[in-house]
Copies of this chain bind each other. A is one copy, B any other.
Amino acid sequence: MKAYQELGKEELLSLKAQLEKEYEDAKGKGLKLDMSRGKPSISQLDLSREFFDVLTSESDMKDENGVDVRNYGGLDGIPEAKRIMAGMMGVSEDHVIVCGNASLSIMYDAVSRSMTHGVLGSTPWCRLDKVKFLCPVPGYDRHFSITQHFGIEMINIPMTPQGPDMDMVEKLVGQDDSVKGIWCVPKYSNPQGYTYSDETVRRFASLKPAAKDFRIYWDNAYAVHDLYENGGDTLLEIFAECEKAGNPDMVYEFCSTSKVSLAGAGIAAVAASKANLDYIKKSMTIQTIGYDKVNQLRHARYFKDINGIKEHMMKQAALLRPKFETVLAVLDRELTGLGIGTWTKPNGGYFISFDAMDGCAKAIVAKCKEAGMVLTGAGATFPYGNDPRDSNIRIAPSFPTAEEMAMATDLFVLCVKLVSIEKILGE
């Protein structure tokens, strides 16, 4: 294949005419496809059907400690659920609190609490002139929404296949005491699917923050979300590294079963040092009498332990793998060598990240939409929805069927080609 940039104007115009015809045909099909969110498919949810049979009117409703899960109390979560969530993060269950159905809420609360009450006794952020967060980009839009909502200034940090640009992170965290946090998805990052290298994790653990209330917001959303049985990425456990580096309190880690059991009705957890947890609990004990322990028990009885989770995730992988492979096959076949796009090939997680030619992402997303396919809004993977190069597009293959996915990707590459030609032609 010849790169588009090397084609002459006539060649481009003729190609364009042909692609436009294909595009009109595609539009005529009346497609209705949604690749906008990392939403599990119905088949994935159906994997947990028997989850609903675990607790019945006949069941013993007591947790391992003999506490009736139906009643009030138990701020930390029940022991058997703690153990599972700790297993997912590879940390000690003593450092875990199991909460409600959304790790996003725990993250929101962490930032909100820091605004009103500070971090381990520091000045509440709402009293400071300036609070900044570092945001590896492209990244997760809902992280950026939280910091934006609280008026926190966000600074882009370029991602590499090894993780965020650590030279830049070290410099900013070390010099600027208004830098209070960094959003990280360390395993199968959203949207690129990169896993932080051991060196990156160690450099994180060894940061020397100018701000005592700086924390790493370690959103381990895809901790157990491998696509291949024996080819999963491994992530170094950060708390152990922090201990070694003399930074025991620097990390909040988050995870959930939203993409393990049920997206809307899973359980979520936070892991942190004892000092951090004690401080978190001071607010939590005001905020709630306790999270839904019935759902925690349902999870514990259904999955039993971390091995149950891992087995279940291999069933999830069997459903997700063909969709990822379909997208990648179409991208490979249709775009390789054309010089109009690059994309990632993750071993897990929920996304493929596509980088178009600069200035083309918005136009591609709009063109897909016109033909009936919703993609994540261009720019969404950057703070303030502003991708400076207008290049990144997040592809979420989980929700559609494999057949829909193939159609969707055909349409996607068509739009990439068309928009790229228009760009090259300077239209």
Contact = CB atoms under 8 A, between A and B. Distances in A.
A293 B263 CA distance: 10
B292 A71 contact: no
A37 B290 CA distance: 14
A127 B108 CA distance: 20
A341 B293 CA distance: 40
> What copy number does this chain have within its complex?
2
Contacts of A286: 108, 142, 145-146, 149
Contact of A105 (B287, B294, B295): B287
A59 B68 contact: no
A71 B45 CA distance: 8
B289 A292 contact: no
Interface residues of A, number: 58
A65 interface: no
Interface stretch (A46-54, A79-87, A356-364, A409-417): A46-54
Interface in A135-163: 142, 145-146, 149-150
Contacts of A130: none
Given A126-B127, A150-B116, A264 B294 contact: yes
B292 A264 contact: yes
Contacts of A124: 126
Given A50-B57, A288-B104, A295-B295, A70 B112 contact: no
Nearest to A282: B149
A55 interface: yes
B57 A56 contact: no
